């Protein structure tokens, strides 16, 4: 039987696309420097996130293991690593990160993930109109809970959020018309650097609902609420 030299096998293998890596999204972005900036392409793949640019000093290629937190806002991505206090910030040149890509990260990224948008829930277990108090003023919206995450859909898009239960550090309520979330979103001047969201509820939250949410956040328990039709 005729054998094929090992070097030929390796050469062919290197030319094949990697089956282990799938590109979920890529687009043109800008990285701001202290003075000026550079442009390149952001790639979000099944294995990590990369910033490809001709400015080699600013090019990056992170595995998800190397990233401490990812923050996605309209037209912007912030990447927090273990070797840099200030997040690596990239502005999307056109449009926004697609919602399918956000959902991919919600399902796949194992560290802290903050999504500055209200994504539809596969199953809504409960929803309640709420007012989110800001340092100055407030915005109005709907607070929803699903089997895997919470969302707040605000009338001011900058204040909409989607949180996995694991990205909520604490949840408490003093009475049925109030709910406070301490999230893992970094924010200066907030307790321990974690951002706090204070909601005034426009309808009372049943004690059983609050207890189920508390278990989900603090104990990893499952919600026992019946899904809404």
Determine which of 91-100, 119-128, 190-199 has the lowest per-residue pLDDT on average: 190-199
Average pLDDT over residues 48-70: 95
Distance, in Å, from the CA atom of 111 to the CA atom of 106, rounded to the nearest integer, reads: 10
Cβ atoms of 29 and 47 within 8 Å: the answer is no
The pLDDT of 126-155, averaged and rounded, is: 95
Of 25-29, 31-35, 180-184, 204-208, least confident by mean pLDDT is 31-35
CA 89 to CA 30: how far, in whole Å? 9
**Rounded to two decimals, what is the model's pTM?**
0.81
What CATH number was assigned to the domain covering residues 124-218?
2.30.29.30
In CATH, the number for domain 22-115 is 2.30.29.30
Share of the chain above pLDDT 90, in %: 71
Quote the pLDDT of residue 68. Answer: 92
Average pLDDT over every residue of 125-129: 95
What's the whole-number average pLDDT of the chain? 86
Q: Is the pLDDT confidence value at 11 over 90?
A: no
Quick one: pLDDT band at residue 83, thresholds 50, 70, 90?
A: confident
Decide if 183 contacts 170 (C-beta within 8 A): no
DSSP the chain: -PPPPHHHHHHHHHHSPPTT--EEEEEEEEEE-SSSEEEEEEEEESSEEEEEES-GGG-EEEEGGGEEEEEEETTEEEEEETT-SS-EEEEESSS---HHHHHHHHHH--SEEEESS-PPPSSEEEEEEEEEE-SSSEEEEEEEEESSEEEEEESSGGG-EEEEGGGEEEEE-SSTTEEEEEEEEE-TTSGGGEEEEEEEESSPPPHHHHHHHHHHHHT-PPP-PPPP-
Residue 3's pLDDT is 52
Confidence of residue 163 (pLDDT cuts 50, 70, 90): very high
pLDDT band of 224, cuts 50, 70, 90: low
What residue ranges do the domains of the chain occupy?
Answer: 22-115, 124-218
């Amino acid at each position: 039987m005729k054998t094929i030299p090992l070097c030929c096998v390796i050469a062919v293998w290197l030319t094949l696309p990697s089956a282990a890596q799938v590109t979920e999204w890529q687009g043109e972005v800008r990285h701001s420097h202290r003075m000026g900036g550079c442009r390149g392409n952001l790639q979000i793949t099944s294995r990590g996130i990369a910033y490809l640019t001709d400015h080699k000093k600013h090019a990056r290629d992170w595995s998800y293991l190397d990233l401490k937190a990812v923050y996605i806002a309209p037209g912007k991505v912030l990447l927090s690593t273990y070797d840099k206090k200030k997040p690596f910030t990239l502005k999307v040149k056109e449009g926004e990160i697609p919602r399918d890509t956000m959902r991919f990260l919600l399902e796949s990224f194992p560290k802290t993930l903050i999504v500055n948008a209200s994504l539809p829930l596969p199953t809504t277990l409960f929803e309640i109109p709420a007012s989110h108090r800001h340092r100055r003023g407030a915005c109005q919206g709907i607070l929803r809970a699903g089997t895997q995450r919470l969302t707040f859909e605000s009338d001011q898009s900058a204040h909409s959020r989607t949180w996995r239960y694991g990205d909520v550090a604490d949840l408490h309520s003093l009475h049925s018309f109030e709910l406070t979330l301490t999230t893992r979103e970094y924010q200066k001047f907030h307790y321990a650097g974690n951002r706090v969201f204070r909601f005034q509820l426009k309808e009372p939250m049943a004690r059983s609902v609050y207890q189920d949410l508390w278990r989900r956040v603090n104990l990893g328990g499952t919600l026992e609420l019946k899904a809404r039709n």
